[in-house]
Amino acid sequence: MLKVMTGRQAAELINDGDIVSINGFGSVSHPDDIDKAVEVRFLETGKPRDLTMIFASGQGHNKKGAYADRLGQEGLVTKVIGGHFALMPQLREMIARNKIQAYNLPQGVICHLFRACAGKKPGILTRIGMHTFVDPRYGSGRLNEISADTWVELMELDGEEYLYYKTPRINVAIVRGTTADPSGNITAEKESLVVDALHIAQAAKANHGKVIVQVERLSTIPANPREVVIPGVMVDAVVLAPDQKQTISETYNPAYSGEIRMPHEEINRVIAEIREIDRKAGVARERSYASLIIGRRAARELKPGNVINLGVGLPEMVSIAAQERGIINDLIFTIEPGVIGGVPSVGGSFGASFNPDIIYSQASQFDFYDGGGLDIAYMGAMEVDQKGNVNVSRLGDKVIGVGGFVNITQSAQKVVYCFPFMGGGLDVTFDNGRLTIVQEGRIEKFSGSVQQISFSGNYAIKNRQPVLYVTERCVFSLTPDGLALVEIAPGIDLHRDILDKMPFRPIVSDPLKIMDISCFVDPGTRNPNT
């Protein structure tokens, strides 16, 4: 039967020491009213305490106290297992100060653990994460000194190495839908994502726990059984939140949920509006000529019909370049929380897609990814070393987390890394097909050895996986002997602008190709900063 209650009443269902999983992707489809209620109860009463929080996708919007980051209170949460932490600054600070145990596992692995927990399976066996920092030989995904648990073990089966990830015993699920019917069945007709809602709910019930669902509205008639996302038999509490937003940037966009098909011109207008919202909120990324060049060169790897994934940030420029080339409609975009087709949104609505072909579970999407379903993955990089290893997960005490990066980069048929040659203040321009460095960046992106291995170059070579590293001034390729410089931008000096600024000597191809001149031509009407 339907059990409607306030957020505070729902928060009272959570006990000290519970293992809590919260659904959502970034700031999309997140049950924020329940987060608020848990936070307020703790600040007023000191209860609940000593929670373990588990989430697959990043939760928040890169601002303190946003969404699940509200639970980053000392004493409220004492342990966290997550896929991505960059959007949760309050929680990250607790991790850096050793105030909380913390473990970073691949996003796809965690959502598969939700499914394993639902079926009372002890864990999952996979190659995902091999030779990265989650491999027990490289740290087991532990993020600080006080984190001593072992959630992953190296195992051998039939002469092959695998990683065995142990299943956590989730007993509280906090999820979101659109409508609850009289029996408590939950539908998600206005949601842009379903993410892990069902599997988290099933996991909690498997451990005789509580399922708390935030919805926008109640219905007096039974739901269409084909549209039910969470059966009422699993639901313990429904919290009504009539003002819940589809994403942090948009109240409701019917093109995200499949209610309408939006014309491409309208999509461009909405994307521009979202970028402006994020700019005013102080969470937008600056776009530049360097990012435009990188996006254009990276897009040269695309072929009609390619199934692709674009990482957040600079790789988004690949879609802009694909529009320039007129091939955007010949590509199949996917997003890890469970979207295939359409045009990926940006900023606070990242995770949603305009005009998607399908919206399904995140676990199913990672089944597709892990099985080699992606033709090309475009990812960013914070550090790259001479062996082609890539770090995206940690710099110093700054914990970022890998998100879906490990699943995607280890399984895609081809990987293209997109990043500036130097970070921090890089300013470039181009004229008549030649690149000019106006101001050099302050931060070296290439290092002798990356701080943390999020992607193993040697493992990619072993698996015969093609890998490119695209910057605004040159392109590298992964070879069995390390990084090879294969292309250079017109106007760039090999020694002054590249080799002298690297801590190691890459292989230099002979002949060294010139990057496609069309990457450095201003089309006239386009402003890369809009």
SS3 assignment, position 97: coil
Strand partners, 415: 377, 467
d(CA 523, CA 530): 14
Six token digits for residue 244? 């819940």
Six token digits for residue 94? 């607790």
Residues 6+ positions from 461 with CB-CB distance below 8 Å: 388, 478, 479, 480
SS3 assignment, position 277: helix
Helix (H) or strand (E) holding 437: strand 434-439
Query: Residue 452 gets which letter from DSSP?
Result: S
Contact status, residue 386 vs residue 350, Cβ threshold 8 Å: no
How far is CA 436 from its chain centroid? 33
Contact status, residue 409 vs residue 446, Cβ threshold 8 Å: no
Beta strands in 105-151 (DSSP E): 123-126
Contact status, residue 354 vs residue 267, Cβ threshold 8 Å: yes
Minimal CA–CA distance to 160: which of 478, 462, 387, 404? 462
Helix axis angle, 107-118 relative to 197-206, nearest 10°? 40
Output the CA torsion 431→436→437→438 (10° steps): -60
Measuring CA to CA, how many Å separate 260 from each of 253, 267, 347, 364, 369? Answer: 9, 12, 21, 24, 27
d(CA 161, CA 469): 28
- Residue 264 φ then ψ, to 5°: -60, -35
Instruction: Provide the b/e sequence for 22-55 (b: ≥16 CB within 10 Å).
Output: bbbbbbbbbbbbbbbbbbebbeeeeebbebbbbb
Catalytic hit among 250, 336, 383, 487: 336
d(CA 370, CA 86): 23
DSSP per residue, 1-57: ---EE-HHHHHTT--TT-EEEE--BBTBS--HHHHHHHHHHHHHH--S-SEEEEESS
Active site residue 440: no
Measuring CA to CA, how many Å separate 422 from each of 2, 49, 353, 444? Answer: 56, 44, 31, 5
Strand order in the sheet with 160-166: 123-126, 160-166, 152-157
Contact status, residue 209 vs residue 170, Cβ threshold 8 Å: yes
Positions marked catalytic = 336
